[in-house]
Amino acid sequence: MYHSKKLHEKGIIRNRKMLTQSQYGDYKFVGHLDHIKTFHACIKSLCFGENGTVTFSEEGLRITVEQGKSIQATLFMDPKFFAEYHVKDLTSFGLKLNVFAECLSLFGVMDCSVKMLYKGDGAPLIVLLEPHNDDDVSTECAIKTLHVDEPIEYELDENSASLNVIFMRGPDLFNIFNELDKAAEELEFTLSPQRPHFKIATVGVVQAESTVEVAKSSDMILLFNCRDTTVARYKSQQLRLMNKALQAATKVAIKTDASGLLEMHFMMQSGDAEEIYVQFFLTPLLDI
């Protein structure tokens, strides 16, 4: 920040609004991550939507994206995930996610540490990147923050008689998704306490039909807790938006109930300790 101020004085940086010159203590949010990799993968998995809503609170960092009114993704990061996490009261702002992701990938695959700073309403989000293997290089990004509307709140009723929950291994579900017919417009999910337990069928391909069934005794399934049979259809195009998150996930939770609202929970592990969660809500297609 001090660096960009100098450049501004010399006329190299022209956009004064992007400068933040105050003291460290004045920040509403300061977050420091030692390793960028998992965080970057998570942000990339949210990039299907243009604007994200970023919220900082004592509980951690949340970033929510929506596309239309039918798919929503939220990233959760526990303060424990950060090497340093300070927050002064709840703050929330909008951010262009593709710009944010591009900033995080400035150094390519090189591992670097990330520091994020936010001063308050109207100020840019400052992102500082420092590669681990080169002390002589550093980057400061100032990303404009925007005003956005509050995202829609989706929720599954925990006490519903038809709440079905399955925990699966991430790479296995990723393989299943990959093998599904890409031409299919819709996918039908069946979750049931009886056989076939968990079934995905393709719908809408002329003269072709494919189904994948996973029994609850399968190694792929880590937890199986289904109360009632639920069947719902989803647009495969929208399910594919989860691909990037699924690719990075170690564990996936699939939740749904009689309403058909699908909640997918992706857990991304970095190294050994803490996890980042990305949660997707997907609304079903209307019954035919």
Partner 1 sequence: MRFRARMQDALYMREFQSIIATLAKLAKECIMILADQQMHFIVNEEHNSTTAPLVWASIAAADYFPEYKMVPAREDHPYIVLAMSAAHLSRALAALRTGATVNSCKLKLQRIQFPCFSVIASVVSQQSAEPREVVHDVPVNVVAASDWPAYKIPKVPTSQLVLSMPSLRMMRNVIDSLKNMSPTMIFHANAGGELNLVAESEMVTITTAFRHLLLRRLVNRDPTDNDEQQVAPDASCSVDCRKASSFFSALQLPNEELSIGIDSENCIHLQLDVRESVVLHSILPAVCF
- Is 3 a binder of partner 1 (CB under 8 A)? yes
Residue with smaller CB distance to partner 1, 139 or 229: 139
- Is 124 a binder of partner 1 (CB under 8 A)? yes
- Is 110 a binder of partner 1 (CB under 8 A)? yes
Residue with smaller CB distance to partner 1, 46 or 226: 46
- Per-residue binding string, partner 1, 8-37, x by CB under 8 A, is --x-xxxx--x-------------------
- Is 169 a binder of partner 1 (CB under 8 A)? no
- Is 54 a binder of partner 1 (CB under 8 A)? no
Smallest distance, Å, CB 135 to partner 1? 8
By CB atoms closer than 10 A (0-12, 13-18, 19+), residue 134 is exposed
- Is 111 a binder of partner 1 (CB under 8 A)? no
Backbone φ and ψ for 177, nearest 5 degrees, come out as -60, -35
Please tell me the distance from the alpha carbon of residue 265 to that of residue 75, in angstroms, as a whole number: 10
Distance, C-alpha 22 to centroid of its chain: 31
- Nearest Cα neighbor of 244 from 202, 281, 278, 282 is 278
Establish whether the linkage from the previous residue to 196 is cis, with ω within 30° of 0: yes
Tokens for 139? 């980057």
Smallest distance, Å, CB 118 to partner 1? 14
Residue with smaller CB distance to partner 1, 99 or 148: 99
229: left (phi over 0), alpha (psi -120 to 50) or beta: beta
What stretch of H or E contains 5? Answer: helix 2-9
Residues near partner 1 (CB under 8 A): 3-4, 7, 10, 12-15, 18, 96, 99, 102-103, 105-108, 110, 124, 131, 134, 136-144
